[in-house]
Every structure is written in structure tokens, then in C-alpha cells.
Amino acid sequence: MKRLLPLLTGLVLLLSACGREDLSALNPQGPVAQKQYDLMKLSIGIMGLVVVVVFIICIYVLIRFRRRKGDNTIPKQVEGNHTLEIIWTVIPLVLLLILGVPTIKDVFGLAKDYSKDKNAVQVKVTAHQYWWEFEYTDYGITTGQELIVPTDKVISFELAAADVKHSFWIPAIGGKMDTNPGSTNRMYLEFPKEGVFRGKCAELCGPSHALMDFKAKAVSPESFDRWVAAMKAPAVMPADAELAEKFTSQCLSCHAVGENGGNSAPNLTGVGGRQTVGGILYNDEAPTEQNLHDWITNPEAVKAGAMMPSSEDTGLTDEEVSSISKYLADYKLDY
């Protein structure tokens, strides 16, 4: 009974909670994750069978053959049994065959290359310590931290890392793929349902590895087209000329808005409309402006090891930080 208990607890947990729709691999929201989930179910089924058989034999043996007090008989010394040996060699082989065939089918199925497919959206993912860069090569636009995808097309990813190894993972949509420095990997995903899905970095990449989250937002095809158009539109700079200059000199040396600025830090076009600041400060828990203010004042306090200097280092006064935060919080794209 003691040994059955963990199994039962496991089954109860499995049945009762499949986790969040936007996060759990047990609650697949796209065909890739669905295929993987089907394979998981098949393997859990087969393996559950094995576990049950072993547990039953084990419990039976422990009850039936325990030594009674004062029992000093010597049991029969059995050398072995060829038939039994063959049975427990062949049955596992058959079970593995049942699992092996769909495994091979999916290994090749999921490796399908959509990089030359005109109908697929090509996205180049570059992982940085500790943020994600998404470049839409066909559209000539780049964004950071929030991946926007249409629901009607296959998304073909080209993955690489700018510094150390990371791993790109959106559990509800599909399994992960590592981003290696110096070489590129490919994979495809599909997002048939609209919604925002949580993405994570799955390879230890430094002190803020745990905080390297991103979002994947699936939108309707029309909405996606509007987003692309809005991204390509001229940047909206701060209205105040002095602030605009400060913003350009202090922020755009690394960041970019629209066509202005650099690309060594996340693109900020439409940053006010994103779910989070820095991938980890949720804008529904605190006002966007507040989150931006916290982040710009001291990024190190939010994400240890982040490259961005604090406002003290960049020489921004608290007033300027507030104005920049307000400007960025209001910078939303209409799509």
C-alpha cells in the first residue's frame, strides 16, 4: 500500500491539474505541442503498465513470502527459468517498438524545414543574456521580448545565441530548441489559437536565467498585418525636444524605436503595449509606467547581470526617468 500511494497521488495530480493554458506542456495549444503530448500520453500509458505490473508482483511477493517467526526452512534454490527470461525480454522489446515507431515518425516530422516556404513567416531568434530578439526577415522588422505571430501561418524559426547558450521554449505551443552561439538551429511552430503564451529560457545562462521569460502573442492574420505596418511606420519620438535628445543620446545608443537607434538591446517600438517590462515585471500587477521607472532606475535590482546601466550610471535624473517612462508607457501600437 505504501508503495501504491505515490502512484495514486501521481494519477490524481495528473488528472486534476493540467496546468495553465498558456504555459503547460500538458495543455497543448498548437499542433506541435499536441504531437508531443500524444507521444507523452502513449509513453505514459505503456510505462504505467510496466510500473503497475512491477508493483503488483512486488507487493504480492512481500506479503506472500515474508519470513514467519521461527521459520528456519531453506527455500528451494532456483537457478532461473528460460521461458520467463524470454518473456521479460520480448515483451519490453514489443513495447519499445510500439513507442519507437511514432518516435521516429515525429523526430522527422518535427524536423521539417519551412525556411524556404513562401507561406511561412520567417523569424530569426537571437537569445541574449537575458532577453530575446525577434527579427522578421521577410518584413525587415525587429522586436524584443514579445513575439507576435499570425494564427494562419507556420512560423519558421532560425535560432542562435549572441553570447552564451540559451534555449527557446514555449511549452504550450511546442518543445524547446537550444540557441547555440556560432551556429543556427531551425524549428517550426504553429499557433492556431489567439492568445498570449508564456515562453522561457530553458538552458542555464547565468544568474538571471530564471528571469529570462518572453511572451508569444498569436493574433489574427489581419491584426498581424496591421502590426507589421505599425512597426514599419516612422518612430514616435518624445514630444519634448530636450527629452527626445536625451532619449536619443542615452537610450537609442543601444535600443531602437522604429528606424532610429541601435540593436544591441531590445527594440522598444510599441513597448508600452507589451505585457511585461523586461520580460518579468508584469504590467497588470503594477502600472506600466511604474515598472518602466523601476527598470530604468536600476535594472540590476530586477535582473542581476543585465547589461543595461542604471540611471545613475547614465546620468539620468529621476525627473528624466519619469518622463521617459511616461513616454514609453504611452508608446503603444494599434493592431
Partner 1 sequence: MASHAHGHKVKRYSGLMDWLTTVDHKKIGILYLMAGGFFFLVGGLEAVLIRIQLMYPDSNIVNGQTFNELITMHGTTMIFLAAMPMLFALMNAIIPLQIGARDVAFPFLNSLGFWTFFFGGVLLNLSWFAGAVPDAGWTSYVPLAGPDFSTGKGVDYYVIGLQIAGIGTLLGGINFMATIINMRAPGLTFMRLPMFTWAIFITSAMIVFAFPALTVGLVALMFDRLFFANFFDVANGGNGVLWEHIFWVFGHPEVYILILPAFGIISEIVSTFSRKRLFGYSSMVFATVLIAFLGFMVWAHHMFTTGLGPVANGLFSIATMLIAVPTGIKIFNWLFTLWGGSIRFTTASMFAIGFIPTFVMGGVTGVMLASAPADYQYHDTYFVVAHFHYVIVGGLIFGIFAGLHYWWPKMFGRLLNETLGKITFWTFFIGFHMTFLVQHFLGLLGMPRRVYTYLGGQGYDDMNFISTIGAFLMGIGTIAFVINVFVTWAKPRNASNDPWEDGRSLEWTISSPAPEYNFQQTPLVRGYDAWWKEKMEGKKAMTPAEPIGSIHMPSPSILPLFMSIGLFVAGFGFMYDHLIIAVGGLVITLGCMVIRSLFDDHGFHIEPEDQEKGVQA
Q: Which of residues 115-174 bind partner 1 (CB under 8 A)?
A: 159, 163-165, 167, 169, 171-172, 174
Q: Judge contact between 310 and 300, C-beta under 8 A.
A: yes
Nearest by Cα to 124 from 109, 112, 138: 138
> In the set 51, 222, 259, 334, which binds partner 1 (CB under 8 A)?
51
Q: What is the DSSP code (8-state) at residue 209?
A: G
**Nearer to partner 1 by C-beta: 112 or 232?**
112
- How far apart are CB 19 and partner 1 at their closest, in Å? 4
CB burial string 292-310: b at 16+ within 10 A, e below:
bbbbbbebeebbeebebbb
> In the set 104, 118, 119, 319, which binds partner 1 (CB under 8 A)?
104
Nearest by Cα to 212 from 268, 286, 161: 161
Residues in contact with 106: Cβ distance below 8 Å, sequence separation at least 6, in sequence order: 35, 36, 39
Give the span between the Cα atoms of 148 and 267, in whole angstroms. 13
Q: Does 88 bind partner 1 (CB under 8 A)?
A: yes
What is the H or E stretch that residue 217 is in? strand 214-219
- How far apart are CB 23 and partner 1 at their closest, in Å? 4
Q: Does 99 bind partner 1 (CB under 8 A)?
A: yes
Give the span between the Cα atoms of 102 and 304, in whole angstroms. 43
Q: Does 75 bind partner 1 (CB under 8 A)?
A: yes
Distances from the Cα of 15 to the Cαs of 3, 25, 44, 191, 298, in angstroms?
A: 20, 14, 13, 25, 43
Q: Does 24 bind partner 1 (CB under 8 A)?
A: yes
Residues in contact with 249: Cβ distance below 8 Å, sequence separation at least 6, in sequence order: none
Restricting to residues 283-302, which ones interact with partner 1 according to CB under 8 A? none
> In the set 1, 15, 70, 84, which binds partner 1 (CB under 8 A)?
84
- How far apart are CB 5 and partner 1 at their closest, in Å? 8
Give the span between the Cα atoms of 265 and 308, in whole angstroms. 8
- How far apart are CB 30 and partner 1 at their closest, in Å? 12
Q: Does 214 bind partner 1 (CB under 8 A)?
A: no
Q: What is the DSSP code (8-state) at residue 181?
A: B
Nearest by Cα to 128 from 110, 142, 139, 115: 142
- How far apart are CB 89 and partner 1 at their closest, in Å? 6
Q: Does 35 bind partner 1 (CB under 8 A)?
A: yes
**Nearer to partner 1 by C-beta: 3 or 232?**
3
- How far apart are CB 65 and partner 1 at their closest, in Å? 5
Q: Does 94 bind partner 1 (CB under 8 A)?
A: no
Q: Does 304 bind partner 1 (CB under 8 A)?
A: yes
- How far apart are CB 174 and partner 1 at their closest, in Å? 7
Q: Does 45 bind partner 1 (CB under 8 A)?
A: no
> In the set 73, 119, 284, 312, which binds partner 1 (CB under 8 A)?
73
Restricting to residues 175-204, which ones interact with partner 1 according to CB under 8 A? 175-178, 180-183, 185-186, 198, 200-204
Determine how β-strand 141-144 pairs with β-strand 131-136. Answer: antiparallel
Determine how β-strand 281-282 pairs with β-strand 276-277. Answer: antiparallel
- How far apart are CB 147 and partner 1 at their closest, in Å? 16
- How far apart are CB 166 and partner 1 at their closest, in Å? 10
Strand partners, 122: 156
Binding span for partner 1 by CB under 8 A among 34-42, 250-258, 307-315, 319-327: 34-42
Nearest by Cα to 237 from 113, 114, 327: 327
Strand partners, 322: none
Q: Does 241 bind partner 1 (CB under 8 A)?
A: no
Determine how β-strand 260-261 pairs with β-strand 174-179. Answer: unpaired
**Nearer to partner 1 by C-beta: 171 or 238?**
171
